[in-house]
Amino acid sequence: MAGLIDGLSWLALLGGVFFVIVGGVGLLRLPDFYTRLHAAGITDTMGAGLILLGLMLQGGWTLVSAKLLLILLFLWFTSPTATHALVKAALSDPENPRPLLHEDAPPSKS
Amino acid sequence: MFAATACGILACMVLAMARALMGPTVYDRIMAVNAFGTKTVLIIAVLGFMSGRPDFMDIALVYALINFIGTIAVLKFIRYGDMGWPRNVPDEPDDL
């Protein structure tokens, strides 16, 4: 049983590191600001979620796991809020390049 | 196991720091600093388990709070040019 929990914790931690690195590479490589926000969101939801889940499996039913759960809930509430505020500020700045909106796209031939 | 996780998070922090240093607009930099703070929370939690002192979770929790407040404060400063001090209302009656 302990070995099973350890294995699941391993898997969660490694999956979390995978998502964190994917988010980091996307943060560096994607072409414009609004697509980079998408990469940052991957890190904040899947990466943080899986890593904290792996740590919770290590901690067991203790106060430490409760604190980890609090951190996770807090990250999941604040990260979309911060991203929303960031996009609102970026869109209201006239010097900032606007994203390619649906109306700007050439008409599709359907 | 924890060491491998910490190394992965550290590598990603380097990538976020590179974006913060070269980001073309100020919003790229704010986003990168926000992501950097999230990864700092994660690495504090992992280091707490790695060193066998899970009391570090409190520090991680406080860091998550401060990271969010700091991001919102910097955004407000960029957007309005000040931190939202109460205005001197009698001097600006038109703004009511």
Transcribe B19-76 into DSSP letters: HHHH-SSHHHHHHHHHHHHHHHHHHHHHHHHHTT-TTHHHHHHHHHHHHHHHHHHHHH
The separation between the first and the last C-alpha atoms of chain B, rounded to the nearest angstrom, is 59
Across chain A, what does the average pLDDT equal? 86
Identify the helix (H) or strand (E) that includes residue B52.
none
Do B19 and A36 meet the contact criterion of CB atoms below 8 Å apart? yes
Average pLDDT over residues A40-63: 90
CA distance to partner chain A, nearest, from residue B16 (Å): 6
Tell me if A78 and B15 make a contact (CB, 8 A cut-off). no
Is the residue at A110 inside a domain? no
* Cα–Cα distance, B45 to B40 (Å, whole number): 9
Q: Output the pLDDT for position B64.
A: 92
HEC profile of A26-91: HHHHCCCHHHHHHHHHHHHHHHHHHHHHHHHHHHCCCHHHHHHHHHHHHHHHHHHHHHHHHHHHHH
Is the residue at A39 inside a domain? yes
Q: Output the pLDDT for position B10.
A: 94
* Cα–Cα distance, A15 to A20 (Å, whole number): 9
Set of chain B residues whose Cβ sits within 8 Å of the Cβ of A73: none
Sequence letter at residue A15: G
- Which has more confidence, A57 or A95? A57
Is the residue at A93 inside a domain? no
- Chain A within 8 Å of B51 (Cβ-Cβ)? no
Is the residue at A69 inside a domain? yes
Domain that holds residue A12: 2-84
- Chain A within 8 Å of B15 (Cβ-Cβ)? yes
Tell me if A74 and B8 make a contact (CB, 8 A cut-off). no
Tell me if A52 and B45 make a contact (CB, 8 A cut-off). yes
Q: Output the pLDDT for position A70.
A: 92
Do B44 and B60 meet the contact criterion of CB atoms below 8 Å apart? yes
Who among A10, A20, A75 is closest to B9 (CB)?
Answer: A20
pLDDT at A110 over 70: no
Average pLDDT over residues A62-89: 91
Q: pLDDT tens, B30-80?
A: 999 999 999 999 999 999 999 988 788 899 999 999 999 999 999 888 888
Is the residue at A60 inside a domain? yes
Q: Output the pLDDT for position A90.
A: 86
Is the residue at A104 inside a domain? no
Q: Where are the domains of chain B?
A: 2-83
Tell me if A75 and B78 make a contact (CB, 8 A cut-off). no
CA distance to partner chain B, nearest, from residue A110 (Å): 37
pLDDT at A93 over 90: no
Name the CA dihedral angle for B24, B30, B31, B37, rounded to a multiple of 10 degrees: 140
Q: What is the ipTM of this complex?
A: 0.83
Task: Look at chain A and report how many structural domains it folds into.
Answer: 1
Q: Output the pLDDT for position B77.
A: 86
* Cα–Cα distance, B28 to A86 (Å, whole number): 9
Q: Which residue has the tokens 């600006």?
A: B92
Q: pLDDT tens, B5-38?
A: 999 999 999 999 999 998 788 889 999 999 999 9
pLDDT at A2 over 90: no
Q: Output the pLDDT for position A108.
A: 60
Tell me if B15 and A25 make a contact (CB, 8 A cut-off). yes
Do B45 and B64 meet the contact criterion of CB atoms below 8 Å apart? no
* Cα–Cα distance, B44 to B66 (Å, whole number): 14
Who among A36, A52, A64 is closest to B31 (CB)?
Answer: A36
Tell me if B31 and A86 make a contact (CB, 8 A cut-off). yes
Is the residue at A100 inside a domain? no
* Cα–Cα distance, A50 to A80 (Å, whole number): 17
- pLDDT band at residue A68 using 50, 70 and 90 as cut-offs: very high
In chain A, the percentage of residues whose pLDDT exceeds 70 is 86
- Structure tokens that stand for A40 in this block: 């940052």
Who among B58, B61, B68 is closest to A82 (CB)?
Answer: B68
